[in-house]
Structure 1
Amino acid sequence: MSRTILTYGLMSGAVIILGIIISIVIQGDAPHSSVWLGYLIMLVGLSSILLAIKQHRDKVLGGVIKFWPAFLIGLGVAVVASLAYVLIWEIYLAVTHYRFMDQYAAQVLAAKKAAGVSGAAYAKLAAEMEAMKRDYANPLYRLPMTFAEIFPVGLLVALVSAALLRNPRFLPAKA
């Protein structure tokens, strides 16, 4: 079971972070312009949770699994995927000399300025962006925040997958 969790978790984390990094590179000056795209990439990558539970159910348990064991496998894959996501994101930040948050803050400020925000409201937003950049520079803030981006999605996918796969008629094992 540990091998299944590790294999599918690492595969999932790599797919997700590489998809997100590719989308950031393609978007260029507008990082994170589509939050929905990021979460769609996460859902696609975390679909490996369903595959991991199904493989364990079909190959190890003869086609039947209860909710809690299925959920624990899904949770394990979600944790490994989330940790892989955090690790690869940290590597990406280091390779790009931690410019991401500067680019993100600049893009947010430019968008607000183009929308007509000025004066005290703009100054307040600029101060908030500076505080965010300071916070994000601290790994004790950044690492848990990065983990929290993906783990709740993995938790939800694990719950749904365990609920579906506890029924042996859902994607039944091939004879």
Structure 2
Amino acid sequence: MNKIVLKNGFLGSSIVTALLLSVTFYMKANPEKEVSMFFGFAGMLLAFIFVVLGIKQQKDANNGFISLGKAFLTGFWITLFISTIYVIVWLIIFYNFFPNFAEHYTDMAIAKASPDEVAKVTEDMNSFKEMYKNPIMVILLTYMEILPLGIVFSFVSALILKKKQIN
């Protein structure tokens, strides 16, 4: 299982890393333009294809049988690998290339808010900026972008691909 997790985790993390780098450098080069969340979400889903492939490979390695638990754990470990690489890459980008990200993101959110929402959005964004001053919060918030989706993807994939051995 370790080889399957490492291989698929590496391939999936390559996709989210490439997307994260592309979007980040695009945002730095075009600070007035907002990148659609669709690209990030689509990239994550594309990376999580390797969760499905990993579970399938684990099933094939076990003569076509895999329990729900084993399938989910395989998917979970691949997801955790992909998510951890995503977090590490974001930390490198944030602290070395985009240290003003919180301000940039806050300014975009406030500018996009309707006149009725400006006060609430400003308050929320100031709270976000305060949280982003703490490296632990940066790590936790970044994991929250990708890990929950990956866990759901792992569970659904495990449900679809599970097959118990007939005695």
Q: For the structure 1 residues 96 and 62, does the alpha-carbon distance in structure 2 shift closer, same or farther, using more than 3 Å as the test?
A: same
Kept in 1, the 8 Å contact 2:34–2:108? The answer is no
Question: Following superposition of structure 1 onto structure 2, how do residues 1-175 of structure 1 map, counting pairs within 5 Å?
Answer: 1-27=1-27, 28-29=30-31, 33-58=35-60, 60-112=61-113, 115=114, 117=115, 122-167=118-163
Alignment partners' CA distance in 1, 2:33 and 2:125: 15
Q: CA-to-partner distance for each residue in 1:58-116, whole Å, 9 max, x for gaps?
A: 1x21222121111110011111111111111101112214121111111112223xx4x
Compared with structure 1, are the counterparts of its residues 31 and 48 closer, same or farther at alpha carbon in structure 2 (3 Å cutoff)? farther
CA displacement at 1:22 relative to structure 2: 1.1
What CA distance in whole angstroms lies between the structure 1 residues aligned with 2:134 and 2:152? Answer: 28
3-state secondary structure, aligned to 2:20: helix
How has the CA–CA distance of structure 1 residues 109 and 88 changed in structure 2, closer, same or farther, with 3 Å as cutoff? same
User: Paired residues, what number?
Assistant: 162
Q: CA deviation at 1:41?
A: 1.0
Return the letter of the residue paired with 1:86: V
Task: Pick closer, same or farther for the CA change 1:126–1:90 going to 2, 3 Å.
Answer: same
What is the Cα deviation at residue 31 of structure 1? 6.8
Report SS of the residue matched to 1:94.
Answer: helix
**Matched letter for residue 10 of structure 2:** L
Q: Which amino acid aligns with 2:41?
A: Y
Task: Indicate conservation of the 8 Å contact 1:24/1:31, yes or no.
Answer: no
Q: TM-score, normalised by structure 2?
A: 0.85
| Residues 97 and 52 of structure 1, relative CA distance in 2, 3 Å threshold | same
Partner of 1:173: none
Q: Is the 8 A contact 1:31 1:103 kept in 2?
A: no
2:23·2:35 contact (CA, 8 Å) conserved in 1?
Answer: no
1:167 is displaced (CA, Å) by 4.3
| TM-score, normalised with respect to structure 1 | 0.81
CA RMSD across the alignment: 2.2
For residue 124 of structure 1, report the CA deviation from its aligned partner: 4.9
Q: Write the distance in 2 (CA, Å) between the matches of 1:156 and 1:123.
A: 34
Percent of aligned pairs sharing the same letter: 26
SS at structure 2 position matched to 1:137: coil
Q: Offset at 1:33?
A: 3.7
- Answer yes or no: is the 8 Å Cα contact 2:13–2:83 preserved in 1: yes
